[in-house]
Chains A and B, each alone.
Chain A
């Protein structure tokens, strides 16, 4: 069974540009999460989808970030316009259930904003 996949693996953009990250969860997993790790800091939660609905977006830094999960399958995270402090590694995770369950992580997208 395929794991969580993310695309692209790396992205280098200039400040002010737009970048869209994609996450494909494990097949059958209704729950999809986005996390971010900036240099030297801990991995931080951004938001949680249950199917196509945003369950919790309390971790989203500001309105330059927009996450979608149309159809309840893959998800995109768009950053527009990108700022220098957005640089970091963006991880996606998925789980079949909520609660006492395991979140499985993808390899991450490394974003560098110059």
Chain B
């Protein structure tokens, strides 16, 4: 049973527009969430994170929103640039519950930025 779900396998966005990537989770013990970006043949690269005490975290063009009641988070990229084309993974971890330190990942969303 997947505890972190990214229901869109791919997303195509025009350069300069906003990209919105979505992630849902089922485990209410998750309280720290991370987004990673991955290019082919490379490892995941950390982008941005958010803890459950916040509902928004911003870093440059990247903003992550967390809706705990809906168990939903989203990553906004604005404006989208060609170099943003990659696979984006949502990951979660239960920190305060004293759970394991391993990240639970979604299957990823392939973002394609079109010129």
Interface residues of A (CB under 8 A from B): 4, 31, 33, 35, 41-48, 55-56, 58-59, 91, 93, 98-100, 102-108
Partner pick for B43 among A45, A47, A102, A105, CB 8 A cutoff: A105
Flag whether B18 is at the interface (Cβ < 8 A). Answer: no
Q: How far is the CA of A30 from the CA of B95 in the complex (A)?
A: 17
Flag whether B41 is at the interface (Cβ < 8 A). Answer: yes
How far is the CB of A78 from the nearest CB of chain B, in Å? Answer: 20
Flag whether B32 is at the interface (Cβ < 8 A). Answer: yes
Knowing A100-B95, A102-B49, A105-B36, say if A45 contacts B100 (CB, 8 Å): yes
A91 neighbours in B (Cβ, 8 Å): 43-44
B44 neighbours in A (Cβ, 8 Å): 43, 91, 105
Inter-chain pairs besides A42-B107, A91-B43, 19 sampled, C-beta below 8 Å: A31-B101, A33-B101, A35-B103, A42-B2, A42-B89, A43-B89, A43-B103, A43-B105, A46-B102, A48-B101, A56-B100, A56-B101, A58-B100, A99-B32, A100-B49, A103-B34, A103-B103, A105-B36, A105-B44
Q: Is the CB of A105 within 8 A of B101?
A: no
Q: How far is the CA of A103 from the CA of B46 in the complex (A)?
A: 8
Interface residues of B (CB under 8 A from A): 2, 4, 32, 34, 36, 41-46, 49, 51, 89, 91, 95, 100-108
Q: Is the CB of A107 within 8 A of B95?
A: no
Q: How far is the CA of A45 from the CA of B51 in the complex (A)?
A: 20
Partner pick for A104 among B4, B42, B46, B95, CB 8 A cutoff: B46
Q: Is the CB of B102 within 8 A of A48?
A: yes
Which chain A residue has the least Cβ–Cβ distance from B32?
A100
Q: Is the CB of A106 within 8 A of B43?
A: yes
Q: Is the CB of A45 within 8 A of B95?
A: no
How far is the CB of A79 from the nearest CB of chain B, in Å? Answer: 19
Which chain A residue has the least Cβ–Cβ distance from B46?
A102
